[in-house]
């Protein structure tokens, strides 16, 4: 069995990849997938801690996260579709209605 | 459920139900019915009220936000002054609804719901004995008024509504800070953060003079904007000019009194020493308001603006009476609040009736109407004369008592306040009579006016009660003032007593003319 | 009989209410006139009943208090709607209701056919109610109610024909100028409340009589009350409204602006005689103002061509005489002149009304002349009243005016007498000028086409009655030295005696034994005035040319010394300029609203700069969040 830090390193890398994707990719779908990646990185951390500390509640929480993520994916994609219907684009740069 | 809660809930529930009424006519009838019920309930409160006692009656107290360290409660109660104002509110809403029955066709159910919401807020303000609750009602009023001006108003309605909103909101934030501060100070004494008025009265007497004066000013600014006192009055002309008739009537009739009510209840009640210290400042502002308002009213070319500036004058008298702190001054202030509600309310309502017919506010578009609409001219003359302060009508009683209060006040060290205020009496005659002349008398200058209708039966029906009360208060003011007599006398005696204990010397007013 | 007291007020009040509420529904408008006249007559009859009861009582107990109900009782302000009928007020009540009833009767004829007939009588009744409040009140506040109430009625009646702006301007001017006086009254009440702690006559006078002469508070009170009187009773500097008030219908001028309302200032001073007596400074001021007013108004009256203007200025002048009496501490003499003046001046005004009526609303005397033969009754009564005002014995004005002049001499100074006598000369002159221009000489109108007719009985009966009173009224006050009983001063003694006594303490008496010579001189002076008028005007057919030769005096007099213009330039216009150009357009709009809107605009500008940060691109926000987290984390790790 490898040490806890290996898991954490992997999950940190995954999280950074996801975060970078959210920050720098243009396509909303890709950004969305990156968000999922970040969530899964967190899930990995939770499971790793749960395993090493012998507490099951972390794993239960992961189920919750997964469920919420699934729901979120459904809602998110629906939003993306309706945005596309309105704007004919999913490029995030074009969606700047909040510009001050 | 206590009567006061019922009194607040009736219009609130009415406003909620109005959401489901889409038809304009039934919305109006429903609202009138609700307003009448509220009026009846307030009359029941009046009948059961015992005017021989000074304290609060009909008290209701329920714990609201409570923990070991916080005690905020839903606490209602009325004394004579607040009861008079509640009666004025419920009465004026009914009258205003009847008087402005056909004034607009736009989104009637919405307007009616806002008016009921406003009524609930106003009653709440006058009945709350918990400062937190008071603040909520205070702010609650802004919202319906904002929409009433902003949706049903004249051409510059958005400007006026925003100005009104921000002006008053800015003021009331001071009050919010002061309420929290006061609660914290109270918790130093009792260990519990409380906003209970009676508890705070005890706590505030232990405050240092510095803190008292900061808090005094925080409350005072908020109320002075509402009154409005010079130089914080400029929202009023805009709001009045742009507001629809019913908005103007309620704004002038009741909303402004919230400021003076607050000054008496909270400033004088919570910070007696600071009030005495700054009485002269307030009286100077009041005197300026009286003279300045009158002079500026004189040169207005827009009738609603003229009446609005005349409000500044009248409210100045009230503030003068309050800060004279004498029995005459305080009693005069209370009755003047009612009077101003009736007479200025009636002026606005009557002008609204004319505006429905002509759609112009400029004085120059009128003239000679007495010939065309004689009934209108008679009623308008009565309202105008009541506003001028003619003895025998209501306006005189309040003005006179506040002036006499200012003369006798041992807090103000000079007769100059009273003497200068008396000049307001002269100028009031100038601007109102001049307006009346240009409005009603002389030859008919505008041919469009020749075909004007005189007052309808409904309109007369809405004006007659106002006139009855004007004469009644003018001839028999004591039947109203006995309600607030005990409370105001006690307040005046406490204030002036506090002054004696604090080692101030009581100096008779100086003679300024040798 | 004292239970009749409230009904004296109630009768005209009922008349007012009936006409006010049902006036619009009358089929026959004449009902309004009869209702109103009956109401006032009923009031007069009841007043006589009360008066006769008073006569039967001993002098000290003639004061009747009658309280209706509490009006205001707050702190020290503790007054009721309560009446005090005593020797002073009953005189005024009788004059008000008596002359009032005659004038009501006259108005039924004079106003016939006017579209505002009902309205006229409604106002007139209201006026009687208010005037009665004024003189019957037992406290200053109720007096003030009447004081303002008559002002209102005066306003309504001057502007009765409201379709002409000239009338409205006059009405407005009257009300506003009166309000300036009321300012004084208000201040006086305030100081009174502080000084005496009450507004009731009995308390105030009781407390005051214990105070020393010249007490500062009393000086202020009396000065301020007198300011009130200058407004209501048309003295310098506030007399300017009265001549303009002639814009109202002529019966109004007779009732309000000659016989009753304008004398309420005299009533107030006479009522407060103890206060005034305790303030010699005020009395001096009153004498000076009074004699100046009497002379100034007389000079202006010399060359007026409008018959009502002549009478108006003559009223101002006569009011000056009344105040002269008060000013030298002869309160009873002032009241006596009020009474006689009410008779002859009402008669003169009603006579002028008859003339105006006959001349189809022509008021310019230059277009009259020779009316003697057309209007014999009017002429006779007018002449009697003119003789009375000129001070020819044995007409009423002779006794009252002479008593004032004598008191001015004996208790005042020789100068006051000389000026007063000079005024009497002018009075005789301008009044006879009016008589000659109106009734004598050639007809300067189109007599052939519009021959003037004598007025109807409803109008000439009051004229005759008033003329009779102008003849007889003076005998109530025949001085002892002429073998009379001085009935009126005896009657008033319990009221004004104390004040006259106190006032006398600070005066130097002079002229013992001079009374008869002075009376003779003043009669001679009056006769000279009449002769001058006869010489210049009796036969004259063309006018003006002669008068214009007087140059400056004429133009000053004809233009009323430009007082209105001076007030306009020095008070009215600067106030308007201040209010409009400075207070409203600069202070309100520019400064206050400028600050408010400026601060809003400032906040707007700052936000305009800051808002650039909001790019609207979510990723930029995300980058900021991450950068922020990194900064925070590194801060925690490093420190």
**pLDDT tens digits for range C123-142:** 999 999 999 999 999 999 99
DSSP for B153-197, written as a single string: S-TTHHHHHHHHHHHHHHHHHHHHHHHHHHHHHHHHHHSSEE-BH
Q: Do chains B and A touch (3 or more CB pairs under 8 A)?
A: no
Give yes or no for residue B201 having a pLDDT over 70: yes
Q: What HEC string does C343-395 produce?
A: HHHHHHHHHHHHHHHHCCCCCEHHHCCCHHHCCHHHHHHHHHHHHHHHCCCCC
Largest CA distance in chain B: 74
Confidence of residue C46 (pLDDT cuts 50, 70, 90): very high
Per the CB < 8 Å rule, is A92 touching C619?
Answer: yes
CATH 2.60.120.650 is the classification of domain A4-87? no
Confidence of residue C44 (pLDDT cuts 50, 70, 90): very high
Q: Give the model's pLDDT for residue B116.
A: 92
Residues of chain B with C-beta less than 8 angstroms from the C-beta of C141:
391, 400
Give yes or no for residue B505 having a pLDDT over 60: no
Burial call B275-298: b when 16+ CB within 10 Å, e when fewer = bbbbbbebbbbbbbbbbbbbbbbb
Pairing of strands B70-78, B193-194: parallel
**pLDDT tens digits for range B19-64:** 888 888 888 999 999 999 999 999 999 999 888 888 888 888 888 8
Q: How far off is chain C from B128, nearest CA to CA, in Å?
A: 27
| Chain-centre distance for alpha carbon B487 | 19
Among A15, A16, A2, residue whose Cα is nearest residue A46: A15
E strands, C146-276, are none
Per the CB < 8 Å rule, is A93 touching C612?
Answer: no
Per the CB < 8 Å rule, is C164 touching B408?
Answer: no
C-alpha to C-alpha distance for C174 and B102, rounded to whole angstroms? 39
Per the CB < 8 Å rule, is C616 touching A19?
Answer: no
C-alpha to C-alpha distance for B411 and C422, rounded to whole angstroms? 53
Tokens of B423: 């000049």
Please indicate whether residue B427 or residue C448 has the higher confidence score (pLDDT): B427
Among C421, C495, C443, residue whose Cα is nearest residue C273: C495
Q: Is B17 exposed, middle or buried (0-12, 13-18, 19+ CB in 10 A)?
A: middle
DSSP for B75-141, written as a single string: EEEE-HHHHHHHHHHHHHHHHHHHHTTTS--SSHHHHHHHHHHHHHHHHHHHHB-BHHHHHHHHHHH
Q: What percentage of chain A has pLDDT greater than the value 90?
A: 44
* Averaged pLDDT for residues C67-88: 87
Per the CB < 8 Å rule, is B299 touching C579?
Answer: yes
Give yes or no for residue B506 having a pLDDT over 60: no
Give yes or no for residue B376 having a pLDDT over 80: yes
Q: How far off is chain A from C623, nearest CA to CA, in Å?
A: 6
The chains found to touch B (3+ Cβ pairs under 8 angstroms) are C
Per the CB < 8 Å rule, is C75 touching B408?
Answer: yes
The chains found to touch A (3+ Cβ pairs under 8 angstroms) are C
For C234: left if phi > 0, alpha if psi spans -120 to 50, otherwise beta; the answer is: left
Q: How far off is chain B from C59, nearest CA to CA, in Å?
A: 34
Cβ partners under 8 Å of residue A60, min gap 6: none
- Chain B CA closest to residue C76: B328
Tokens of A56: 């099951």
Helix, strand, coil shares of chain C as percentages rounded to 5? Answer: 75, 5, 20
- A85 neighbors A23 (Cβ within 8 angstroms): no
C613, C616, C626: residue with CB nearest A96 = C616
C612, C616, C619: residue with CB nearest A98 = C616
Residues of chain A with C-beta less than 8 angstroms from the C-beta of C609:
none
pTM: 0.87
Q: Give the model's pLDDT for residue C548.
A: 66
Per the CB < 8 Å rule, is A92 touching C612?
Answer: no
Q: Give the model's pLDDT for residue B509.
A: 45
Provide ipTM, 2 decimals.
0.89
Which of A17, A22, A25, A38 to mutate to test binding with chain C, by most C CBs within 10 Å of its CB? Answer: A22
- Chain C CA closest to residue B381: C156
Q: What percentage of chain B has pLDDT greater than the value 70?
A: 97
* Averaged pLDDT for residues C92-110: 91
C-alpha to C-alpha distance for B482 and C74, rounded to whole angstroms? 9
Q: Is C482 exposed, middle or buried (0-12, 13-18, 19+ CB in 10 A)?
A: middle
DSSP for C76-99, written as a single string: TEEEEEEEEE-HHHHHHHHHHHHH
**pLDDT tens digits for range B265-282:** 999 888 888 888 898 899
C-alpha to C-alpha distance for B41 and B34, rounded to whole angstroms? 11
- Chain A CA closest to residue C620: A23
Please report, for residues B39, B83, C587, the alpha-carbon distance to residue B57 in angstroms, rounded to integers and kept in the order given.
Answer: 18, 10, 45
Confidence of residue C31 (pLDDT cuts 50, 70, 90): confident
Residues of chain C with C-beta less than 8 angstroms from the C-beta of A96:
615-617
A19, A31, A100: residue with CB nearest C612 = A100
Give yes or no for residue C54 having a pLDDT over 90: no
Per the CB < 8 Å rule, is A22 touching C612?
Answer: no
Give yes or no for residue C288 having a pLDDT over 60: yes
B327, B401, B442: residue with CB nearest C168 = B442
**pLDDT tens digits for range B451-496:** 888 888 899 999 999 999 999 999 999 888 888 888 888 888 888 8
A19, A31, A98: residue with CB nearest C614 = A98
Helix, strand, coil shares of chain B as percentages rounded to 5? Answer: 75, 5, 20
Domain boundaries, chain C: 565-638
Per the CB < 8 Å rule, is B425 touching C183?
Answer: yes
A23, A31, A97: residue with CB nearest C616 = A97
Q: Give the model's pLDDT for residue B508.
A: 44
Mean pLDDT, chain C, as a whole number?
87
| Chain-centre distance for alpha carbon C533 | 29
Q: Give the model's pLDDT for residue C542.
A: 55
Q: Give the model's pLDDT for residue C419.
A: 92
Per the CB < 8 Å rule, is B401 touching C72?
Answer: yes
């Amino acid at each position: 069995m490898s040490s806890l830090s290996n898991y954490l390193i992997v999950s940190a890398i995954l999280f950074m990849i996801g975060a970078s994707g959210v920050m720098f990719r243009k396509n909303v779908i890709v950004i969305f997938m990156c968000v999922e990646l970040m969530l899964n990185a967190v899930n990995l951390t939770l499971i790793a801690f749960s395993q090493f500390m012998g507490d099951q509640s972390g794993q239960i929480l992961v189920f919750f996260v997964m469920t919420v993520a699934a729901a979120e994916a459904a809602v998110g994609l629906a939003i993306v579709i309706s945005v596309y219907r309105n704007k004919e684009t999913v490029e995030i740069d074009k969606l700047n209605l909040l510009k001050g | 459920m206590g009567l006061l809660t019922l009194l607040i809930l009736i219009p609130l529930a009415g406003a909620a139900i109005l959401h489901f009424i889409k038809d304009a006519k039934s919305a109006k009838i429903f609202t009138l019915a609700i307003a009448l019920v509220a009026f009846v309930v307030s009359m029941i409160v009046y009948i059961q009220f015992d005017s021989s006692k000074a304290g609060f009656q009909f008290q209701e107290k329920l714990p609201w936000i409570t923990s070991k360290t916080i005690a905020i409660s839903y606490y209602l109660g009325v004394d004579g002054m607040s009861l008079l104002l509640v009666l004025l509110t419920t009465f004026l809403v009914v009258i205003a609804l009847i008087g402005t029955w056909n004034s607009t066709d736009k989104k009637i159910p919405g307007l009616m719901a806002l008016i009921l919401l406003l009524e609930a807020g106003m009653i709440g303000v006058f009945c709350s004995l918990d400062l937190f609750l008071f603040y909520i009602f205070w702010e609650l009023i802004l919202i319906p008024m904002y929409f009433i001006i902003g949706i049903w108003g004249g051409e510059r309605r958005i400007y006026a509504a925003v100005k009104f909103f921000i002006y008053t909101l800015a003021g009331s934030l001071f009050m919010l800070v002061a309420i929290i501060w006061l609660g914290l100070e109270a918790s130093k004494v009792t260990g519990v953060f409380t906003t209970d008025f009676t508890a705070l009265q005890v706590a505030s007497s232990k405050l240092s003079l510095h803190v008292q004066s900061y808090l005094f000013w925080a409350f005072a600014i908020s109320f002075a904007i509402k009154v409005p006192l010079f130089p914080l009055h400029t929202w009023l002309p805009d709001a009045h000019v742009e507001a629809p008739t019913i908005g103007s009537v309620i704004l002038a009739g009741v909303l402004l009194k919230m400021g003076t009510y607050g000054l008496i209840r909270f400033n004088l009640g919570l910070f007696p020493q600071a009030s005495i210290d700054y009485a002269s400042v307030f009286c100077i502002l009041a005197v300026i308001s009286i003279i300045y308002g009158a002079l500026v009213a004189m040169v207005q070319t827009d009738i609603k603006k003229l009446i609005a500036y005349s409000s500044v004058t009248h409210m100045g008298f009230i503030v003068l009476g309050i800060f004279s702190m004498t029995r005459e001054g305080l009693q005069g202030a209370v009755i003047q609040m009612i009077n101003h509600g009736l007479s200025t309310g009636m002026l606005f309502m009557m002008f609204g009736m004319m505006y429905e017919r002509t759609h112009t506010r400029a004085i120059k578009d009128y003239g000679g109407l007495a010939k065309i609409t004689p009934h209108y001219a008679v009623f308008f003359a009565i309202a105008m004369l009541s506003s001028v302060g003619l003895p025998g009508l209501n306006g005189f009683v309040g003005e006179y008592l506040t002036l006499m209060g200012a003369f006798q006040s041992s807090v103000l060290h000079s007769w100059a306040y009273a003497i200068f205020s008396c000049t307001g009496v002269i100028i009031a005659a100038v601007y109102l009579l001049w307006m009346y002349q240009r409005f009603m008398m002389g030859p008919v200058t505008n041919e469009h006016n020749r075909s004007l209708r005189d007052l309808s039966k409904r309109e007369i029906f809405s004006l007659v009660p106002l006139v009855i009360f004007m004469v009644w208060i003018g001839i028999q003011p004591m039947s109203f003032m006995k309600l607030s007599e005990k409370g105001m006398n006690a307040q005046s005696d406490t204030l002036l007593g506090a002054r004696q204990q604090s080692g101030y010397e009581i100096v008779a007013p100086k003679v300024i003319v040798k | 009989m004292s239970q009749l007291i409230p009904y004296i007020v109630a009768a005209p009040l009922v008349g007012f209410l009936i006409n006010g509420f049902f006036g619009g529904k009358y089929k026959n408008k004449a009902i309004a006139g009869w209702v109103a006249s009956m109401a006032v007559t009923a009031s007069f009859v009841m007043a006589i009943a009360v008066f006769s009861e008073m006569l039967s009582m001993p002098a000290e107990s003639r004061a009747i208090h009658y309280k209706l109900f509490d009006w205001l009782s707050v702190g020290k302000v503790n007054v009721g709607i309560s009446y005090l009928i005593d020797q002073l007020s009953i005189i005024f009540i009788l004059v008000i209701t008596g002359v009032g009833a005659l004038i009501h009767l006259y108005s039924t004829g004079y106003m016939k056919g006017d579209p505002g007939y009902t309205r006229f009588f409604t106002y007139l009744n209201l006026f009687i109610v208010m005037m009665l409040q004024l003189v019957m009140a037992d406290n200053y506040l109720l007096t003030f109610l009447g004081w303002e109430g008559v002002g209102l009625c005066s306003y309504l009646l001057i502007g009765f024909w409201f379709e002409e702006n000239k009338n409205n301007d006059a009405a407005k001017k009257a009300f506003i100028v009166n309000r300036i006086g009321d300012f004084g009254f208000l201040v006086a009440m305030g100081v009174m409340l502080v000084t005496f702690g009450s507004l009731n006559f009995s308390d105030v006078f009781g407390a005051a009589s214990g105070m020393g002469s010249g007490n500062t508070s009393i000086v202020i009170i009396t000065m301020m009350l007198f300011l009130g009187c200058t407004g209501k009773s048309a003295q310098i500097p506030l007399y300017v409204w009265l001549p303009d008030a002639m814009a109202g219908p002529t019966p109004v001028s007779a009732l309000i602006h000659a016989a009753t309302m304008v004398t309420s200032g005299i009533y107030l001073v006479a009522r407060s005689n103890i206060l005034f007596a305790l303030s010699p400074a005020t009395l001096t001021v009153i004498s000076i103002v009074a004699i100046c007013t009497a002379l100034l108004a007389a000079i202006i009256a010399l060359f007026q061509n409008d018959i009502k203007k002549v009478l108006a200025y003559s009223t101002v002048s006569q009011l000056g005489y009344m105040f002269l009496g008060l000013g030298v501490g002869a309160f009873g003499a002032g009241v006596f002149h009020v009474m006689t003046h009410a008779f002859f001046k009402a008669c003169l005004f009603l006579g002028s009304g008859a003339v105006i009526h006959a001349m189809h609303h022509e008021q310019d005397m230059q277009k009259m002349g020779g009316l003697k033969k057309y209007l014999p009754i009017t002429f006779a009564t007018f002449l009697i009243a003119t003789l009375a005002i000129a001070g020819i014995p044995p007409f009423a004005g002779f006794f009252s005016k002479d008593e004032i002049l004598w008191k001015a001499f004996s208790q005042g100074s020789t100068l006051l007498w000389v000026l007063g006598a000079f005024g009497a000369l002018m009075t005789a002159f301008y009044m006879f000028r009016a008589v000659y221009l109106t009734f004598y000489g050639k007809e300067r109108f189109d007599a052939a086409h519009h021959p003037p007719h004598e007025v109807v009985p409803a109008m000439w009966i009051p004229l005759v009655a008033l003329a009779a009173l102008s003849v007889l009224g003076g005998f109530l006050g025949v001085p002892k030295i002429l073998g009379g009983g001085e009935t009126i001063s005896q009657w008033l003694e319990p009221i004004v005696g104390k004040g006259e006594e106190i006032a006398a303490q600070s005066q130097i008496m002079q002229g013992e034994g001079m009374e008869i010579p002075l009376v003779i001189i003043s009669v001679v002076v009056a006769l000279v005035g009449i002769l001058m008028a006869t010489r210049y005007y009796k036969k004259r057919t063309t006018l003006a040319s002669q008068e214009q030769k007087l140059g400056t005096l004429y133009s000053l007099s004809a233009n009323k010394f430009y007082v209105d213009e001076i007030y306009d330039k020095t008070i009215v216009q600067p106030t308007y300029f201040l209010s409009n150009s400075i207070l409203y357009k600069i202070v309100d709009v520019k400064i206050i609203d400028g600050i408010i809107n400026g601060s809003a605009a400032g906040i707007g500008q700052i936000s305009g700069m800051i808002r650039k940060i909001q790019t609207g691109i979510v990723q930029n926000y995300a980058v900021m969040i991450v950068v922020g987290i990194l900064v925070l984390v590194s801060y925690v790790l490093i420190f």
